[in-house]
């Protein structure tokens, strides 16, 4: 026998029963007739009345009524939805589709997951975000169509060569398929032909170039991967020897050097030294992929491959530039032991440099010498010096001379340090009967020339923003260039305006090569005339 609910409970039940039944919340399947039919309406009314007579229902309704009274009358309108969705005794709503599960949720479960509720339409559910793969250890795989086209080109190039291609035949693959300079043929061929069979087969090339995803890498990464040794993440000077040997053997502009192998070797060394001078700024001797990408070596390699006149490739590969560097070193190396000391270097540029700056160079402050002989500068050290001396506007040169002037190595140049180096310049000007210039006046000129952030000192960052850094350093320790700058040679000014793309080093190398060539032609002419004169003297006898 079911006990009758208390009056308060009855009033609560009466209030709920008086509310209209929200039939849409039942979510009936399509096969159940609409609730508006009289027969179904009667059944629903009886079920609802029975549910109201249950003790648990009376207790639930009483608690809901008390909560509604405590929170105000506005909460009464929310009773039906709260009653149907809250509490463990409330039956679950039936799903709209018969294909969805109708199993009620377990008792005592937490609040329903609205995002996973089957009552929400599919469009309202948040889509699962799929993050595509962005890191590939061996490089991003090429698209299917690109890979298919590459394999088709490989089949055409290897057609009729069942045993594979030899090195001369492989040059077409290097240039047309790999889009690399032809003088990469030897190093690429040896990289694939690991067993030194003398042939590269189709399958071996596809495995190296296509399956390893090398074809989809950028040009810098391709060059870096081909040149570097296994298990290394950097390039050394030795790694560039194979491509330079191939260049010397096959470039038409260097064919004349084949008769002098010793100068072939010196040319290759000079090219490598120039590359590391420009790219390997920290001077470690290990060229990283990042440094390779930041430099202009790739464009210079392509230019050298396309241009028959090697002297037009001003970056790194010009033979005239090598000729100037080597001859200037040979002039200073009077005993020809391939080393120069302080007394030799002080003669550079017709005694243009001060003793104080030469002392700083030989103290190995700007760069450690590679000669391994104390107090001696080797050929590689001289290459770094002459490139820094003749183009003081380049970033490597600015770092070179900044370290020389920075006596205490604290990263800033103070007025005292500037005065220390200018004192010798002032003394030399007095010896040459030049009108002396007070350091205070020069200091104002130097500050105005650089425009530092703080007038009390200068940093390397200040020189990076200035195009007159070369004149700044010349004022301090190169008297000849300082006087030339003060004279404002109109010929040099016009030359700079006509060819703005040329660097100071390019202009210097051009002038020096013409001078050296004229001197050599004059010597040849005098020797030839001497030979003729001797023959004429000896002919009567």
3-class secondary structure, 458: strand
The pLDDT value recorded for residue 496 is: 75
Among 6-20, 252-266, 323-337, 394-408, the least confident range = 6-20
Q: Name 219's Cβ contacts closer than 8 Å, sequence gap at least 6.
A: 179, 298
The pLDDT value recorded for residue 69 is: 79
Highest mean pLDDT among 139-143, 235-239, 522-526: 235-239
Local confidence band at 106 (pLDDT 50, 70, 90 cut-offs): very low
Element (H, E) at 488: none
CB atoms within 10 A of CB 219: 16
Which class would CATH give 223-317?
A: mainly alpha
Compute φ and ψ for 178, nearest 5 degrees.
-80, -15
203-226: pLDDT as tens digits? 999 999 988 888 888 999 999 999
Q: Is the pLDDT of residue 314 over 80?
A: yes
Highest mean pLDDT among 23-32, 111-120, 506-515: 506-515
pTM of the model: 0.72
511-541: pLDDT as tens digits? 999 999 998 877 766 665 545 434 333 333 2
What is the fold, at CATH topology level, of the domain defined by 319-518? Recoverin; domain 1 (1.10.238)
State the chain's maximal CA–CA distance in angstroms. Answer: 161
The pLDDT value recorded for residue 25 is: 54
Find tokens 């006898």 and name the residue. Answer: 541
DSSP class of 98: T
Greater model confidence, 95 or 70: 70
Q: What percent of the chain has pLDDT over 70?
A: 78
Q: Do domains 223-317 and 319-518 have the same CATH topology?
A: yes
Give me the mean pLDDT over the 45-60 stretch.
Answer: 82
Local confidence band at 473 (pLDDT 50, 70, 90 cut-offs): very high
C-alpha 333/C-alpha 331 separation (Å) is 6
Among 148-162, 310-324, 390-404, the least confident range = 148-162
C-alpha 327/C-alpha 281 separation (Å) is 26
C-alpha 225/C-alpha 400 separation (Å) is 30
The pLDDT value recorded for residue 510 is: 94
Q: Name 330's Cβ contacts closer than 8 Å, sequence gap at least 6.
A: 336
154-203: pLDDT as tens digits? 999 999 888 999 999 999 999 999 999 999 999 999 999 989 999 999 99
Q: Is the pLDDT of residue 29 over 60?
A: no
Among 1-5, 130-134, 140-144, the least confident range = 1-5
The pLDDT value recorded for residue 339 is: 96
**What is the SS3 string spanning 64-111?**
HHHHHHHHCHHHHHHHHHHHHHCCCCCCCCCCCCCCCCCCCCCCCCCC
143-161: pLDDT as tens digits? 888 888 999 999 999 998 8
**What is the SS3 string spanning 169-235?**
HHHHHHHHHCCCCHHHHHHHHHHHCCCCCCCECHHHHHHHHHCCCHHHCCHHHHHHHHHCCCCCCCE
The pLDDT value recorded for residue 307 is: 95
Closest by CA position to 188, among listed 235, 223, 218: 223
Greater model confidence, 357 or 42: 357
Q: Are 388 and 401 in contact (CB under 8 A)?
A: yes
Give me the mean pLDDT over the 57-75 stretch.
Answer: 75
The pLDDT value recorded for residue 31 is: 55
Q: How far is CA 48 from CA 1, 10, 21, 39, 533, in A?
A: 19, 15, 9, 15, 138
Greater model confidence, 122 or 153: 153
The pLDDT value recorded for residue 13 is: 47
The pLDDT value recorded for residue 491 is: 72
Q: Name 520's Cβ contacts closer than 8 Å, sequence gap at least 6.
A: none
User: Does 3.90.1300.10 match the CATH number of domain 138-217?
Assistant: no
The pLDDT value recorded for residue 128 is: 77
Find tokens 């005065």 and name the residue. Answer: 419
Q: How high does pLDDT run on average in the chain?
A: 82
Instruction: Give domain limits for the chain.
Output: 138-217, 223-317, 319-518
Q: Are 401 and 394 in contact (CB under 8 A)?
A: no
Q: Is the pLDDT of residue 236 over 50?
A: yes
């Amino acid at each position: 026998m079911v006990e009758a609910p208390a009056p308060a409970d009855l009033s609560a039940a009466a209030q709920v029963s008086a509310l209209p039944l929200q039939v849409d919340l039942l979510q009936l399947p399509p096969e159940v007739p609409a609730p508006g039919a009289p027969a179904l309406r009667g059944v629903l009314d009886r079920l609802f009345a029975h549910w109201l007579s249950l003790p648990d229902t009376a207790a639930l309704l009483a608690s809901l009524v008390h909560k509604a009274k405590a929170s105000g009358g506005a909460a009464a309108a929310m009773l039906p939805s709260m009653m149907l969705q809250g509490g463990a005794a409330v039956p679950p709503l039936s799903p709209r589709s018969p294909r969805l599960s109708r199993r009620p949720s377990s008792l005592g479960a937490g609040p329903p997951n609205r995002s996973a509720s089957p009552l929400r339409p599919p469009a309202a559910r948040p889509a699962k975000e799929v993050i595509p793969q962005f890191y590939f250890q061996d490089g991003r795989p090429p698209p299917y169509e690109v890979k298919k086209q590459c394999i088709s080109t490989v089949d055409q190039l290897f057609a009729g060569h069942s045993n594979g291609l030899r090195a001369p035949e492989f040059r077409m693959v290097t240039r047309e398929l790999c889009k690399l300079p032809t003088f990469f043929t030897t190093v690429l061929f040896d990289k694939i032909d690991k067993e030194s069979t003398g042939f590269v087969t189709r399958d071996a090339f596809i495995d190296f170039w296509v399956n390893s995803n090398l074809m989809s890498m950028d040009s810098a990464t391709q060059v870096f991967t081909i040149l570097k040794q296994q298990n290394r993440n950097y390039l050394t000077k030795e790694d560039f020897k194979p491509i330079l040997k191939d260049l010397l053997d096959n470039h038409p502009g260097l064919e004349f050097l084949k008769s002098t192998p010793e100068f072939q070797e010196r040319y290759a060394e000079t090219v490598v030294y120039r590359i590391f001078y420009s790219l390997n700024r920290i001077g470690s001797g290990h060229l990283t992929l990042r440094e390779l990408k930041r430099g202009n070596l790739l464009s210079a390699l392509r230019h050298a491959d396309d241009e028959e006149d090697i002297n037009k490739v001003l970056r790194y590969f010009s033979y005239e530039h090598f000729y100037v560097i080597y001859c200037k070193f040979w002039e200073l190396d009077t005993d020809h032991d391939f080393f120069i000391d302080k007394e030799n270097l002080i003669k550079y540029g017709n005694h243009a440099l001060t003793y104080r700056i030469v002392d700083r160079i030989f103290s190995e402050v700007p760069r450690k010498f590679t000669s391994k002989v104390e107090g001696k500068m080797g050929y590689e050290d001289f290459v770094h010096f002459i490139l820094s001396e003749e183009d003081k506007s380049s970033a490597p040169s600015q770092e070179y001379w900044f370290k020389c002037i920075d006596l205490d190595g604290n990263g800033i140049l103070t007025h005292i340090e500037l005065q220390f180096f200018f004192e010798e310049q002032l003394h030399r000007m007095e010896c040459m009967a030049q009108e002396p210039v007070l350091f205070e006046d020069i200091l104002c000129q130097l500050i105005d020339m650089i425009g530092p952030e703080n007038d009390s000192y200068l940093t390397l960052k200040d020189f990076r923003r200035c195009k007159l850094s070369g004149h700044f350093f010349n004022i301090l320790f190169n008297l000849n260039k300082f006087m030339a700058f003060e004279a404002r040679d109109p010929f040099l000014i016009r030359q700079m305006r006509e060819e703005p793309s040329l660097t100071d080093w390019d202009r210097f190398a051009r002038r020096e090569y013409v001078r050296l060539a004229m001197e050599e032609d004059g010597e040849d002419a005098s020797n030839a005339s001497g030979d003729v004169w001797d023959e004429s003297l000896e002919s009567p006898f």
